[in-house]
A and B are shown apart, each in its own frame.
Chain A
Amino acid sequence: MSLTSSPDGQRPGLADRLPSWLVPNLSGLHLVAVMIALLLIGLLLVPVAQVMIVAFQDPATGAATLQNFMDFFGSALFRESFWNSFYVSAMSVVVATAIALPLAYITTRFHFSGSILIQSLGFIPLIMPPFVGAVAMQLIFGRNGTVNLWLRDTFGISIPFMDGLNGVILVQSIHYFPFILINLSASLRNIDRSMEEAAQNLGSHGMRLFRRIVFPLAMPGYIAGAALVFIKVFDDLGTPLLLNVNNMLAPQAFLRISSIGISDPMGYVISVILVVFSVLSLWASFLFMRGKDYATVQKGGGGMAKRTLKPAEKALAYGTVIFILLLVLSPHIGLLLLSFGTIWSFAPLPDGYTLQNYITMWEGSKTFIMNTVLYAGIAATLDVIIGTAIAYIVIRTNIFGRKALDYLATAALAVPGVVLGIGYLRTFHQFDVPFTGEPMASWWVIIALALMIRRLPYALRACTAALQQVSLALEEAAESLGATKRRTIQKIVVPLMTGGILAGFVTSFATAAVELSATIMLVSSNNDAPLAYGIYLFMQTPSGRGAGAALGIVAVIVVAIGTIASQFIIERDKKLKASSGDH
């Protein structure tokens, strides 16, 4: 359709007589795209850029300088924090690998009853924010915890599982190993049977076969998982803070900003380092994996080679799996005991059991729970609306810059929560909330918006997947029957995407509900605090631990219900689509 031609029987209007480049064909979708772009720029790009700029500015004069970085590396504390963060992240990858590798290998390579159980139990750590389990872990593995009390009584030794950095490493690797498990299992499953058979045919077997063929082929999946673990641990604030390990980067950033103030440049320097490391490790894993698509299952191949275990091997495999699962579930078990326990100190188990903690928790944290529902609700609603819009614009239109929109929304993945929090503080303290006049940085809406930006990449992915399943022909059919673009989206596209959108909403809601690192920077009064911050507050005092654990159990249940619900929705949606013959 040309803009300069006029429909029959109508006088050409002003717009029709102007040259076409002056009157761009702006549809409603263009408008939506521009609005989303502005929102992402304002809530993600500007705050992060602000942080970057301040890191390179002289705090007094505002001139560009590298002095802040020189100060950073000139300080023994910061050098130590930098090394500690690096060391903890690397060691967490090592320990997480030691947990994930046997589970992935046993469940994918052998006929092993309980494989499905293990694969789903492996996800359980992810449904609990790591800092929630940290206190429970201290009670089980700490110097005077269950395990060490037993070791001391039996062997007269104790092992410093939870002392200093060890504690952070243990908590983080138990929490994040599923990233390696998921990716590694997928890679292992993608190795065609003939790859191994060819090696056996040429004389290879056992560990040599694993080392030379199986593991190298699974490497891309492993690296993807390991890079994720590294970044997550490097950026995490909650766990070291709760374990009182402050000589690491993220806690230092938090402490500088919260104790010295937002004008102190060190918080910004640390933020730059965190972002650079995030991007670098993603980039390194991308470089490593480039051109290494090892998915070898192919026509004429037989899929995974699964072997039946001999009795002795079976005993060993079950032993290993049970030991690992106990370790992995220890934070949950500990938290549960703590929430029902009266006093738990210098004892293998709590002294007695009570419901008092839940009552205390309920009385003391109604506000936290209400706030959480409000913030996570707003964040998740906005996420799926924006996610759906971006997905539609990227997949179905050729609007200029649509890819950039996608990248920008996804870039939030590489921005640590601490950095976003600092960026918001810095950016929004200059503005006042309309009518009330309080500074915007301490306004509760900002917390909800930060959560929205943090969870947008996940919602976007869910919406994109949902839209990809809606055949273009269904839309074209509606349009050929006279529906406008807008009506088509409203009546055909969105209803068909409902399952995916709902799943995206639930995931975003559940994970936003337990987010700590960005919110801890932005909470200005306890009245505005969400659940995760509430747990953090409770856990600060020994007497509040029981109630904190009870609140932690609430958080775990919220996320668990969310995860199960989203799985359920996705499965039901799949079945529905399959039965209606749409494929």
Chain B
Amino acid sequence: MEKKGIKIEDVHLSFGSTKVLKGVNLDIKPGEFFAFLGPSGSGKSTLLRAIAGFGPDPRGRILIGDRDVVGMSPWTRNVGMVFQSYALWPHMSVRDNVGFGLKERKMSASQIRPKVDAALELVGLSHLADRMPNQLSGGQQQRIALARTVVVEPEVLLLDEPLSNLDASLRVQMRRELLRLQRQLGLTTIFVTHDQEEANTTSDRMAVLDGGVIQQVGTPQELYDTPANLFVANFLGTANILEGRVEVDGADARFVTKTGDPLSLPRGAMSSGSNIVLRPQNISITKKAGQNALEGKILHKEFLGSQIRYLVAAGGTEIVVDQSHSSGVDGFDTGALVHLQANTSGAVVL
């Protein structure tokens, strides 16, 4: 089947007087695994449900392939959705659940059976065909919900927080499985999550949402390395944000912190902005002063195994620093006076 892309054009949506989506534009390519990432209340689930046709009709256009689906009934859209709660019908066996959509498409029993078998095969649960949903574990229910959705060969696949009801170890396993399935079927897929690790590990590209607005779109690495704003910088991983100003001196540029310490910036870096973003792993702690170094005092220390995380008072704020740990090395003590050496070659000024 031909892969379809999804175009979202200037979509607005309100619940009563509350504006939930405020002009969303997106272009999702055919066959892409795309994530909507954002905190709760950011509008990510609402946007997904609008694509599937649930909730109030939005203003704007939602194109699947060339077809504008806004205003169409959910049952005519041929959009596959997997629900956060799985929504397996408890009064039907696994086989009946998976075959439901085919039956709705008026297929004969003899056509349905092999398709259901193939779908169960795909998720590796052929042996559970005659069980009832309440006899399945969470992970199994998740897979059946997936089989039930893909068996009708939808044009796009929508996953609404599909892993949030699973425990941590199963979650890692399931997200690999999801990715494998998506690659195998080549289905354009949107995955809604509030967990950045899930989005990072699965998606080709992702959109970070906040307050009903898309903050940034890009590959996980792009978003982490070059966040477009403070929200994205803070939301993806841990970020130290130091206030100050940029000083340009010919071809060289420096960022001068509130406390007056200069940090050199790479050539061609952004010459405006009043915040510099430093990731914890790009700072090292030394006893001696030097280039690009800030004076500080260790406030707190957490032993994390492969790393030691320090909280250091420096540059007019509190800075998180991760130092890799090797056995036998004791590191620094709380209260010690130290210098922070920042690697600013990839630093972003916002």
Contacts and interface: CB of A to CB of B under 8 A. Distances in A.
Contacts of A195: 87, 89
A62 interface: no
> B52, B53, B104: which has the most chain A beta carbons within 10 Å?
B104
A299 B85 contact: yes
Contact of B74 (A200, A217, A292, A296): A200
Contacts of A292: 90-91
A201 B75 contact: yes
Contacts of A204: 75, 100-101, 104
B326 to A, nearest CB: 42
A197 to B, nearest CB: 5
Given A202-B100, A203-B104, A299-B165, A197 B84 contact: no
A209 to B, nearest CB: 8
Nearest to A298: B85
Given A217-B91, A294-B90, A201 B52 contact: yes
Contact of A197 (B74, B90, B104): B74
Contact of A192 (B53, B85, B149): B85
Contact of A203 (B54, B75, B81, B165): B75
15 contacts: A192-B85, A195-B89, A197-B83, A198-B145, A199-B89, A200-B73, A203-B105, A203-B152, A204-B100, A205-B73, A291-B134, A298-B85, A299-B165, A300-B85, A301-B87
Interface string B152-166: 100000000100110
B161 A300 contact: yes
Given A300-B84, A300-B165, A301-B85, A201 B91 contact: no
Interface in B83-131: 83-85, 87, 89-92, 100-101, 104-105
A219 interface: yes
Ranked 9 nearest A-B pairs via Cβ: A202-B101, A300-B84, A194-B87, A203-B104, A198-B87, A200-B74, A194-B83, A216-B91, A205-B75
Nearest to A296: B90
Contacts of A217: 89-91
B21 to A, nearest CB: 17
Interface in B160-198: 161, 164-165
A409 to B, nearest CB: 33
B75 A198 contact: no
Interface in A338-367: none
B104 A202 contact: yes
Contact of B87 (A197, A216, A219, A291): A197
Contacts of A294: 90-91
A3 interface: no
Contacts of A212: 100
A291 B91 CA distance: 10
B339 interface: no
B70 to A, nearest CB: 16
A200 B76 CA distance: 9
B80 interface: yes
A1 to B, nearest CB: 44
A299 B87 CA distance: 11
B79 interface: yes
A249 B84 CA distance: 53
A486 to B, nearest CB: 46
B91 A219 contact: yes
Contacts of A299: 85, 165
A296 B76 CA distance: 25
Interface residues of B, number: 30
Contacts of B81: 197-198, 201
> A212, A291, A292, A300: which has the most chain B beta carbons within 10 Å?
A300
A350 B84 CA distance: 62
A219 to B, nearest CB: 7
A327 interface: no
Interface in A475-492: none
A213 interface: yes
A208 interface: yes
Interface residues of A, number: 26
Contacts of A216: 89, 91-92
A217 B97 CA distance: 14
Contacts of B92: 216
> B52, B54, B87, B101: which has the most chain A beta carbons within 10 Å?
B87
A208 B104 contact: yes
Contacts of B101: 202-204
Contacts of B84: 194, 300-301
Nearest to A219: B91
Interface of A: 192, 194-195, 197-205, 208, 212-213, 216-217, 219, 291-292, 294, 296, 298-301
Nearest to A294: B90
A534 to B, nearest CB: 49
B52 to A, nearest CB: 6
A206 to B, nearest CB: 9
Nearest to A204: B104
Nearest to B78: A203
A212 B96 CA distance: 11
A481 to B, nearest CB: 43
Nearest to B161: A300
Contacts of A202: 75, 100-101, 104, 148-149, 152
Nearest to A198: B87
Contacts of B90: 217, 292, 294, 296
Nearest to A203: B104
Nearest to B97: A198
Contacts of B74: 197, 200-201, 205
> B52, B101, B161, B164: which has the most chain A beta carbons within 10 Å?
B101
Nearest to B56: A308
Contacts of B73: 200, 205
A199 B89 CA distance: 9
A213 B89 contact: yes
Contacts of B76: 203
> B76, B85, B92, B100: which has the most chain A beta carbons within 10 Å?
B85
A201 to B, nearest CB: 5
> A204, A292, A294: which has the most chain B beta carbons within 10 Å?
A204
Given A200-B74, A200-B75, 16 more contacts: A192-B85, A192-B87, A195-B89, A197-B52, A197-B81, A198-B145, A198-B148, A201-B74, A201-B80, A202-B104, A202-B148, A202-B149, A203-B101, A204-B75, A205-B73, A300-B164
A205 B145 CA distance: 19
A30 to B, nearest CB: 42
Nearest to A297: B85
Contacts of A203: 75-76, 101, 104-105, 152
Nearest to A308: B56
A294 B89 CA distance: 9
Nearest to B101: A202
A130 to B, nearest CB: 34
A298 to B, nearest CB: 5
A212 B75 CA distance: 15
Contacts of A199: 89, 100, 104
A200 B105 CA distance: 12
Contacts of B80: 201
A205 B85 CA distance: 20
A422 B52 CA distance: 64
> A201, A205, A208, A216: which has the most chain B beta carbons within 10 Å?
A201
Nearest to B81: A201
A217 B92 CA distance: 10
B142 to A, nearest CB: 12
B85 A201 contact: no
B207 to A, nearest CB: 21
A194 B75 contact: no
B196 to A, nearest CB: 19
A205 to B, nearest CB: 5
Contacts of B165: 299-300
A194 B91 contact: no
A243 to B, nearest CB: 40
Contacts of A194: 83-85, 87
A201 B83 CA distance: 10
